[in-house]
Amino acid sequence: MNNKIMKIALGGVLSAVILLATIAFPIPLPNHMGFINFGDGVIFGVSSILGPFAAIVAALGSALSDYLLGYAIYIPATALIKGCMGLLAGLVLRRSPKLPWYLMIVLFAGCELIMVGGYFLYESLLYGVSAAIITVPGNLMQGLAGIILGLAIVPLVRKVKSLINL
């Protein structure tokens, strides 16, 4: 099978995995400030498989999850933010496939700061700075969950990837 077709098909499947990881067990935050989910950790795993192509996959899976969970107003921000996270993680993990765990923490923390800052800026435009700042602690908790899950998933994905020659 053509390598490009295989990559696109795999991207579609992994976009669905990100979607499911995001919507399967959302942990709602108080006062409609979003939710904690497993999507960010899966984005990091997908990034270790697809490299920079993970940007598109992460943007699609995450934005669709916002739609399905009733957060349609966040679709543009989510697509951009999660796409940037997938791009950064994908570029670094493609360039450094044996990145040690302590540098993965730095990488994933950088990605999660993109998420926290991106949603803060978007919510500042929508609701004002004073309302947006209230969501920062919840987004930081989401980021911590993503880092922890990413540290667990990426080594497993690397092993599977080497076994099936992706």
pTM assigned to the model:
0.93
Least confident of 11-15, 29-33, 78-82, 104-108: 29-33
* CATH code, domain carrying 142: 1.10.1760.20
pLDDT of residue 33: 67
Burial class (CB in 10 A: 0-12, 13-18, 19+), 158: middle
Give the domain extent around 80.
3-164
pLDDT digits (tens, 9 = 90+) for 133-156: 998 999 999 999 999 999 999 999
Number of domains the chain contains: 1
Q: What is the mean pLDDT of the chain?
A: 93
H or E element, residue 27:
strand 27-28
Assess contact for 155 and 41: CB atoms under 8 A: no
The answer on pLDDT for 162 being more than 80 is no
- What counts of helices (H) and strands (E) characterise the chain? 6, 2
For residues 37-49, average pLDDT: 97
pLDDT of residue 127: 96
36 pLDDT tier (thresholds 50, 70, 90): confident
pLDDT of residue 166: 63
